[in-house]
Amino acid sequence: MYESFFGLEHPPFQISPDPEFLYPSRVHEEALEHIRFSLNHFKGICLVTGPVGSGKTTICRQILRELNPEGVNHALILNPRLGEHELLQNILSDLGAPLQSDEGAAQKLQDLILELHKVGRHVIILVDEAHVMPTESLEVLRLLTNLETTERKLVQVVLFAQPEMEERLKKESRLLPFRQRILVHCRLAPLRYREMVAYIDHRLQIAGAADEVRFSMLARRAIHRWSEGVPRLINHLCDKAMLSAYVRQDHRIHFGDAQRARRDVGALL
Ligand SMILES: Nc1ncnc2c1ncn2[C@@H]1O[C@H](COP(=O)(O)OP(=O)(O)OP(=O)(O)O)[C@@H](O)[C@H]1O
Ligand SMILES: [Mg+2]
């Protein structure tokens, strides 16, 4: 809406998890490095936890972009409330196997993984929102990571979850074997003030001609305080503050614009 006024080619603060806009803050870069390490060294299960809106799905999509289609077959589970059988079906179909309705899905998947290994292909399963995955389905994933040769595991699993997953793994005794197989764990955290400033500039740069947009220091401080450094809330506030400056036909975003944004965003904060 305000893009052309500010000389931008794209909306800078959309809330979709678009890796094109990824800003490599300390925690996001660390998470990416942990996942790459886990995948490159065949560590089995890797867990990334982070509060709502902190960038988990964005990181997941970035990792997907980095997977080499020449050597990797991957499954992406976006709706992990699936029971065992549906989960197996989903993985099978993502890995390229024809759908099958009978109860032999677990064996079929195991055979497929071994076949893929024989032709030198890696299998990676990514699960977003893993904190809501039923225990039985987590158990299915654990059993898949038991498949291994003497040198390496045949299936790599990367889970993205809200912090409550950590509690769940500690409390549910049935999940103890799963927990013990998580060799790589990292946590996303909110952005610090300086990181948020760089984050805002980065998104504006990717969106086009950022030089036309200037957030005043007071506006930035307020946005950081109200968002508590959570990227999704930063996006909401910046978007509404830019809209407010646009309505005033001013390229500079003042504290008053941030205040108006806060009122608009209201219940989300
Ligand atoms: N490092 C980052 N660089 C650029 N944008 C980011 C970054 N981290 C988060 N965002 C942006 O913040 C918003 C929320 O990110 P995302 O959807 O990935 O969070 P999430 O942790 O998956 O949230 P939820 O817990 O609700 O699933 C998105 O618009 C995303 O693009
Ligand atoms: Mg998400």
Ligand 1 centroid distance, CA of 217 (Å): 24
What are the sequence ranges of the domains in the chain?
Answer: 26-187, 191-268
Q: Does residue 268 have a pLDDT over 90? A: no
Give pLDDT tens digits for 183-199.
Answer: 999 999 999 999 999 99
Direct distance between the N- and C-terminal alpha carbons of the chain, in angstroms, rounded to an integer: 23
Helices (H), the chain: 3-6, 26-40, 56-66, 84-94, 105-118, 135-144, 164-171, 176-180, 193-207, 217-227, 231-247, 255-265
- pLDDT reported for residue 97: 86
Q: Could you confirm whether domain 191-268 is CATH 1.10.8?
A: yes
Residue type, 93: S
User: Which fold would CATH assign to domain 26-187?
Assistant: Rossmann fold (3.40.50)
Give pLDDT tens digits for 58-112.
Answer: 999 999 999 999 999 999 999 989 999 999 999 999 998 876 666 788 999 999 9
Ligand 1 test: best mutation among 52, 199, 232, most atoms within 8 Å of CB?
Answer: 232
Length of the chain: 269
Cα 211 from chain centroid? 29
Ligand 1 centroid distance, CA of 21 (Å): 10
For atom 7 of ligand 1, the residue with the nearest CA is 55
Query: Same CATH fold, 191-268 and 26-187?
Result: no
